[in-house]
Structure 1
Amino acid sequence: MEAILIAGIARRLLDELLRNPYRTVELRSARNVLAVEKAMEDLKKLFLTYEPFEDVRSGTEGLITELIEARELNMRVPWEESDEREVTVCRARIKLLGLGRVVKIERRDSIVVVKVREMLPQEMQIG
């Protein structure tokens, strides 16, 4: 199965998804926001992993989810806290489909698509 990579997700969120398969997540990383935008157009499948983007490779474990809906929000940032005045945040409603392990990584334009093998719970090493 192919899915769009969403990396650097907090372990707390991954654990919550395992307990409740529906969740709205808030993404602030520009890379992840662009990935969700692309997922709305094409695949509608996301692969969420705790690993930072640079460390994702064949064998990386995570959660396979379906993107139900997403929307972007522009939030103002107090000028004392940042050199920018606004930050784009994406709120994505997702549904857990299963556990997975990366088999192959492919860059497409500005996003990364991973081929994922679905796994059984006893095969997982994370969490």
Structure 2
Amino acid sequence: MEAVVLAGIARRVLDELMRNPYRTIELRGARNVVAVEEAIERAMRLFLTYDPFSDVGVGTEGLLAELLGAEELETRIPWEESDEREITVCRAKVRLVGLGRVVEVENERGLLIVRVRELMPQEMGMG
């Protein structure tokens, strides 16, 4: 199964998604926001992992999720905290589909598309 990668997702979010299969995730990283846009455009699933983009490769484990919807919001931030005045925040509604392990990675202009093998819970090494 092919999926678009959302990387650097907090462990607490992954754990909560395992307990409750429906969740809204708030994304601030530009690569993750673009990944959600691409997933909507291509009607693809998401692969959520704790690992950063640079570490995603064959063998990376994570969660497979269906994207139910997304909205982008412009948020102002205090000038003392950043050189920018606004950031784009994406709120993505997802439904857990299962556990997965990457078997192939394709980098398309900075966007990671992976082929994932679904796993049984006892095969998962995440903890």
> What is the TM-score of this pair, normalised by structure 2?
0.98
Partner Cα separation in structure 1 for residue 70 and residue 50 of structure 2: 21
Partner Cα separation in structure 2 for residue 43 and residue 59 of structure 1: 24
Partner Cα separation in structure 2 for residue 98 and residue 22 of structure 1: 12
Please report how far the alpha carbon of residue 110 of structure 1 lies from its aligned counterpart in structure 2 after TM superposition. 3.6
Report runs of 4+ in structure 1 exceeding 2 Å deviation.
Answer: none
The aligned counterpart of 1:8 is 8
- Matched residue pairs, number? 127
Secondary structure, counterpart of 2:47 in structure 1: strand
Partner Cα separation in structure 2 for residue 87 and residue 108 of structure 1: 24
1:31-110 paired onto structure 2 within 5 Å: 31-110=31-110
Please report how far the alpha carbon of residue 44 of structure 1 lies from its aligned counterpart in structure 2 after TM superposition. 2.9
Percent identity reads: 65
Secondary structure, counterpart of 1:38 in structure 2: helix
Q: Structure 2 unaligned runs (5+)?
A: none
Partner Cα separation in structure 1 for residue 113 and residue 45 of structure 2: 10
* Aligned-CA RMSD value: 0.7
Partner Cα separation in structure 1 for residue 60 and residue 126 of structure 2: 10
